[in-house]
């Protein structure tokens, strides 16, 4: 779309059902754009007072009453989108919603909103920065308390405020350097100002490093921690997955090699989103499909925050699976003895294998204590300090900024212009983070996550 066509579209007044699929108790239809007042005059007879709930009849142009409900009018720019906008709170019936949307669609200058378009206008009108836009999407998608809290913190400016401070420090440093360049011919300019600039930039790099050192916890809270279930064929992996999911997700049979593909179940463990992954049983095989399943199982285990190694006869995990716990990319591994209901008394008491837990997916024995341990483990992965980096995009922008600052600080022998350019690049990376510079491609990716009506 050309810039001009984009501006034409922006002048449209948009509408959408912002609430869930009817039938429902209520339906909220959202309207935003320059014709909002006209819409309200046409359908209600008059524009209600701004920001005050008004009980009104909603009428078709012919005069028929479609429904009665509460209407809210928000006068721009003090609205979510920054434009005149309104909400119609209707009875959530299919016919009510369909008739209302049809009336709006027939009004000149109105069209249905595209996914995320209300929030896009809020961003374009400076009501939300880019991290807040992402947070709106995350809040709508949040399924656990930790996800909700993290999204709300980000919406309240968690990362954006810190990044704003960092940008101001960079601008200040660049201004001092500019001044120094302007006075470079004069002998009486003290060096101390420059020294202070680079000391602060070194500190800024350390501040960025501290936030980055939080690792990917924020991303994990958003996307879910991963627990992979591995073990030899028939160890009872799929049975455990089903037991923890509380439903029959995976096929369970007594045929070794039943599971081939990775199967995922999403759990809420103590308010944290967790993805539990069932995998193909590990064994030597020449069978193509099974071999691919085993390859995927190992790859997933390498990325997991925790591997549960299931063993019904105490088989130890292969050495290539987990290495030491300090290996990069490999989290800890617990050994779980399965089919406890079949254990003879002698086996139960034998200390032959190191077992972290003993369970029976069949009787449910040991499952409560396993879930409690998993919940505590996941909670233990989350530091008390809330994460500021909640998406890979944030991490990459901060890393780019830090790299540019580090190079500028370290490169003391380079001309001042070159070092200043590094600081400009760092500022640009932080600008990209909050969406203050041209970021069209980034925007497309972010807004594609939205639903219509948001
Ligand atoms: N007695 C008993 N049998 C179990 C238990 N858990 C699983 N089984 C049985 O063990 C067999 C294999 O179970 P699965 O859950 O399919 O094992 P798996 O590890 O997923 O097997 P593959 O996908 O083939 O690698 C099935 O016959 C299950 O009914 C248990 O706790 N007690
Ligand atoms: K099986
Ligand atoms: Mg299985």
Cβ count near 255 (within 10 Å): 9
Angle between helices 416-434 and 130-141 (to 10 degrees): 30
Could you identify the residue written with the tokens 């012919």? 62
Structure letter (DSSP) for residue 44: H
Is there an atom of ligand 1 within 6 Å of 257 CB? Answer: yes
- Which one, of 414, 417, 418, lies nearest residue 180 by Cα? 417
Spell out the per-residue pLDDT of the chain, length 454, in tens: 444 444 545 589 999 999 999 999 999 999 999 999 999 999 999 999 999 999 999 999 999 999 999 999 999 999 999 999 999 999 999 999 999 999 999 999 999 999 999 999 999 999 999 999 999 999 999 999 999 999 999 999 999 999 999 998 998 888 888 777 776 655 555 566 778 899 999 999 999 999 999 888 999 999 999 999 999 999 999 999 999 999 999 999 999 999 999 999 999 999 999 999 999 999 999 999 999 999 999 999 998 999 999 988 767 888 777 544 434 346 799 999 999 999 775 555 554 557 899 999 999 999 999 999 999 999 999 988 889 999 999 999 999 999 999 999 999 899 988 998 999 999 999 999 998 765 555 556 566 667 777 7
**Is 235 close to ligand 1, i.e. is its CB under 6 Å away?**
yes
For residue 237, the ligand closest to its alpha carbon is 1
pLDDT score recorded for residue 267: 96
Which of the 8 DSSP states describes residue 340?
G
Contact 82, 125 (CB under 8 A): yes
Interacting residues of 178 by C-beta distance below 8 A, sequence separation 6+: 420
Ligand lying closest to the C-alpha of residue 361:
1
Per the annotation, does 259 bind a ligand? Answer: yes
Question: Which residues make beta-bridge pairs with 14?
Answer: 32, 111
Three-state DSSP class for residue 26:
strand
Q: Which residues pair with 263 in a beta bridge?
A: 278
Specify whether the CB–CB gap between 236 and 286 falls below 8 A: no
State residue 185's pLDDT score: 58
Q: Rounded to the nearest whole angstrom, what is the distance from the C-alpha of residue 375 to the centroid of ligand 1? A: 24
Q: Which tokens sit at 353?
A: 């294998």
Distance of CA 297 from the midpoint of ligand 2 (Å): 15
Kindly compute the dihedral angle of the four CA atoms of residues 73, 77, 79, 84, in this order, to the nearest 10 degrees. Answer: 40
**pLDDT for residue 254:** 97
Q: What is the 3-state secondary structure (H, E, C) of 102-157?
A: HHHHHCCCEEECCCCHHHHHHHHCCCCCHHHHHHHHHHHHCCCHHHHHHHHHHHCC
Q: Which residues, in sequence order, are CB contacts of 341 under 8 Å at separation 6+?
A: 360, 362, 363, 365
The protein residues having their C-beta less than 5 angstroms from ligand 3 (an ion) are: 237-238, 258-259
- Residues 6 or more apart whose CB falls under 8 angstroms from that of 321 comprise 230, 282, 298, 301, 307, 309, 333
Q: Which structural domains are found in the chain, ordered by start?
A: 3-127 (3.30.1360.120), 135-214+389-438 (1.20.120.430), 222-380 (3.40.50.300)
Q: What is the distance between the alpha carbons of residues 177 and 230, in angstroms, rounded to a whole number? A: 57
DSSP one-letter code for 435? T
Q: Which of 248, 251, 252, 259 has most ligand 1 atoms within 8 Å of CB, for mutation? A: 252
**Residue 242 marked ligand-binding:** no
Hey, what are 322's tokens?
Answer: 């987990």
DSSP letter, residue 450: P
Is the separation of the CB atoms in 67 and 89 below 8 Å?
Answer: no
CA distance 174 to 423: 7
State the complex-level ipTM: 0.99
CB-based contact 240:262 (threshold 8 Å): no
DSSP letter (8 states) at residue 168: H
């Amino acid at each position: 779309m050309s810039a001009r066509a984009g501006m034409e579209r922006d002048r449209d007044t948009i509408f959408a059902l912002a609430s869930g699929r009817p039938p429902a108790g209520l339906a909220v239809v959202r309207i935003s754009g320059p014709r909002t007042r006209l819409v309200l005059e046409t359908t209600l007879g008059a524009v209600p007072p701004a920001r005050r709930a008004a009980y009104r009849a909603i009428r078709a142009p012919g005069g028929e009453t479609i429904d009665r409900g509460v209407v809210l009018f928000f006068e721009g720019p003090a609205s979510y989108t920054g434009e005149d906008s309104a909400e119609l709170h209707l009875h959530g019936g299919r016919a009510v919603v369909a008739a209302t949307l049809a009336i709006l669609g027939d009004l000149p200058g109105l069209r249905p909103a595209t996914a995320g378009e209300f929030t896009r206008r809020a961003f374009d009108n400076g009501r939300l920065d880019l991290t807040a836009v992402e947070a709106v999407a995350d809040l709508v998608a949040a399924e656990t308390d930790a996800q909700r809290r993290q999204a709300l913190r980000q919406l309240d400016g968690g990362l954006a405020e810190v990044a704003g401070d960092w940008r101001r420090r960079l601008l200040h440093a660049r201004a001092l350097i500019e001044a120094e360049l302007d006075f470079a011919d004069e002998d009486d300019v003290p060096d101390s100002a420059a020294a202070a600039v680079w000391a602060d930039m070194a500190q800024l790099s350390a501040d960025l490093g501290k936030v980055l050192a939080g690792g990917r916890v924020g991303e994990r809270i958003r996307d879910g921690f991963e627990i992979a279930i591995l073990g030899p064929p028939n160890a009872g992996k799929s049975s455990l997955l089903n037991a923890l999911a509380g439903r029959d997700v995976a096929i369970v049979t007594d045929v070794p090699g039943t599971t081939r593909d990775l199967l995922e179940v999403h759990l809420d463990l103590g308010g944290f989103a967790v993805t539990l992954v069932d995998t193909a049983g590990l064994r030597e095989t020449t069978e193509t499909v099974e071999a691919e399943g085993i390859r995927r199982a190992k790859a997933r285990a390498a990325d997991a925050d925790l591997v549960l190694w299931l063993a019904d006869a105490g088989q130890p995990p292969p050495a290539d699976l987990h290495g030491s716990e300090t290996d990069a990319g490999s989290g800890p591994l617990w050994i779980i003895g399965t089919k406890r209901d079949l254990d003879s008394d002698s086996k139960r008491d034998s200390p032959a294998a190191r077992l972290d837990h003993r369970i029976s997916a069949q009787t449910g024995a040991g499952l409560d204590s396993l879930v409690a341990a998993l919940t505590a483990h996941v909670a233990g992965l989350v530091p008390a300090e809330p994460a500021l980096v909640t998406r890979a995009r944030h991490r990459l922008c901060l890393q780019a900024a830090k790299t540019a600052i580090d190079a500028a600080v370290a490169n003391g022998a380079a001309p001042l212009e070159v070092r200043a350019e590094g600081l400009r690049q760092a500022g640009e990376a932080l600008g990209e983070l909050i969406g203050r510079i041209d970021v069209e491609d980034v925007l497309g990716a972010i807004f594609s996550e939205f639903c219509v009506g948001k």
